[in-house]
């Protein structure tokens, strides 16, 4: 039973419409996916509808933009009640921060000689409610300035590069609390991937699990090398935390992350469902 708990659709910065994502998940032999678009639940209805009567379960998910001491930390939430007012208000604020930085990014890139406009970026986003640097990357690809998203990030969009503009994110502890209050299970996405490893030390992760309600963290992820996975797995065992594996699928934009490249065990998935139920969350949209 193949379970992939971290995937993106074109409702944020993935390639595929939610129904296409579901078709690809079925073709990849998956039995469960979580749709974890950045800072929005908007793709869930279409994904759940597409998965009805196919044998694929679509777990309600989100990848929340949080920050710890100014460093970006991605927090996965599973089984949130998608009508929770406080959570929806925070998501709205985060998405506004995503949108409002686009003109500044375009201005900085244009000053550096890469002439793109907010309209070019919005054309690439094609109505996605959650805008991100990958959409700016796609505009740069369309104009012929770079070959792919990886190159766009490396030269222009990563922190410290000419097109980078900071954006708002919710403090990590507050993000955990918001998701839990909405009934969700919280799992750090790629904690020892780029950036966040500097703030998510073992000491801090222990503190988050033991004192701040964090449920667990991703272990098997393409951003983690073999040593990181061993250490994180041991930490998970010590803390009796939920440890997951996932693809972080984005389609073409992340060619090294095909669906199902990393998976979560059925036992861990069962534990996540139990915790959601105990917290009054909603694992599947059709259970509302
Ligand atoms: P943002 O949400 O605007 O902060 O942009 C960050 C997103 O861009 C991440 O969530 C990734 O999905 C994506 N990303 C980051 N680095 C790369 C890369 N090197 N290649 C492709 N996508 C990337
Ligand atoms: Zn993404
Ligand atoms: Fe992420
Ligand atoms: Fe992701």
> How many of the other CB atoms lie within 10 Å of CB of 49?
14
Distances (CA, A) of 185 to 91, 96, 172, 176, 195: 17, 25, 14, 9, 23
Give strand pairing partners of 218: 244
Q: How many CB atoms lie within 10 A of CB 115?
A: 12
> Which of 67, 98, 104, 132 to mutate for ligand 1's pocket (most ligand atoms within 8 Å of CB)?
132
**Torsion over CA of 284, 171, 176 and 223, rounded to 10 degrees?**
70
Q: Give alpha helix (H) positions in the chain.
A: 18-27, 44-51, 85-100, 102-111, 118-125, 133-142, 149-152, 172-181, 202-211, 226-239, 266-278
- Tell me which residues of the chain have a pLDDT lower than 50: none
For residue 7, what are its two tokens?
Answer: 């995937």
Cβ of 6 below 6 Å from ligand 1: no
Task: Please report the pLDDT score of residue 194 as a whole number.
Answer: 83
| pTM of the predicted protein model | 0.98
Interval 134-149: pLDDT, tens: 999 999 999 999 999 9
**Residues flanking ion ligand 2, Cβ below 5 Å:** 13
For residue 32, give the nearest of 277, 271, 263, 267 by alpha carbon. Answer: 263
Query: Does residue 132's CB lie within 6 angstroms of at least one atom of ligand 1?
Result: yes
Partners of 188 in beta bridges: 75, 217
* pLDDT value, residue 288: 75
- ∠ Cα 284 273 47 (to 5°): 25
Distance in angstroms (rounded) separating the CA atoms of residues 129 and 126: 9
Q: Which atom of ligand 1 is nearest to the CA of 98?
A: 3
Q: With beta carbons less than 8 A apart as the criterion, state whether 32 and 272 touch.
A: no
Q: Which of 9, 134, 150 is the best mutation target for the ligand 1 pocket, counting ligand atoms within 8 Å of the beta carbon and taking the most? A: 134
Structure tokens at 235: 């930490």
What confidence score (pLDDT) does residue 287 get? 81
CA 35 to ligand 4 centroid distance, Å: 10
Q: Is the CB of 253 under 6 A from ligand 1?
A: yes
Q: What is the pLDDT of residues 171-207, one digit of tens each?
A: 999 999 999 999 999 999 999 998 899 999 999 999 9
pLDDT of residue 195: 85
| Ligand 1 contact via 190 beta carbon (within 6 Å) | no
Residues within 5 A (CB) of ion ligand 4: 63, 248
Would you say the CB of residue 150 lies under 6 angstroms from ligand 1?
yes
pLDDT at residue 118, as a whole number: 98
pLDDT score recorded for residue 286: 84
SS (H, E, C) 181-213: HCCCEEEECCCCCCCHHHCCCHHHHHHHHHHCC
Ligand 1 pocket: which of 65, 133, 194 to mutate (most atoms <8 Å of CB)?
133
């Amino acid at each position: 039973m193949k379970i992939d708990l971290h995937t993106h659709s074109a409702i944020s910065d993935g390639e595929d419409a939610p129904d296409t994502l579901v078709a690809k998940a079925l073709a990849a032999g998956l039995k469960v996916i979580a749709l974890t678009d950045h800072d929005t639940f908007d793709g869930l209805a279409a994904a759940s509808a597409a998965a009805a009567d196919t044998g694929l379960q679509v777990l309600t998910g989100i990848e929340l933009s949080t920050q710890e001491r100014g460093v970006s930390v991605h927090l996965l939430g599973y089984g949130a009640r998608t009508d929770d007012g406080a959570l929806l208000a925070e998501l709205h604020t985060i998405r506004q921060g995503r949108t409002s930085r686009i003109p500044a990014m375009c201005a900085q890139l244009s000053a550096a000689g890469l002439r793109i406009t907010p309209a070019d970026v919005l054309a690439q986003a094609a109505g996605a409610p959650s805008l991100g640097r990958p959409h700016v990357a796609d505009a740069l690809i369309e104009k012929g300035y770079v070959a792919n998203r990886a190159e766009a990030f490396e030269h222009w969009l990563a922190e410290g590069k000419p097109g980078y503009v900071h954006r708002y994110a919710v403090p990590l502890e507050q993000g955990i609390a918001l998701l839990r209050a909405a009934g969700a299970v919280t799992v750090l996405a790629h904690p020892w991937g780029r950036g966040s490893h500097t703030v998510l030390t073992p000491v801090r992760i222990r503190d988050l699990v033991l004192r701040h309600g964090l449920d667990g963290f991703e272990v098997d992820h393409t951003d983690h090398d073999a040593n990181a996975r061993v250490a994180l797995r041991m930490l998970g065992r010590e803390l009796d935390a939920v440890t997951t594996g996932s693809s972080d699928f984005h389609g073409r934009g992340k060619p090294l992350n095909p669906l199902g490249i990393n998976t979560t065990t059925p036992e861990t998935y069962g534990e996540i469902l139990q915790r959601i139920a105990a917290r009054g969350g909603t694992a599947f949209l059709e259970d509302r």
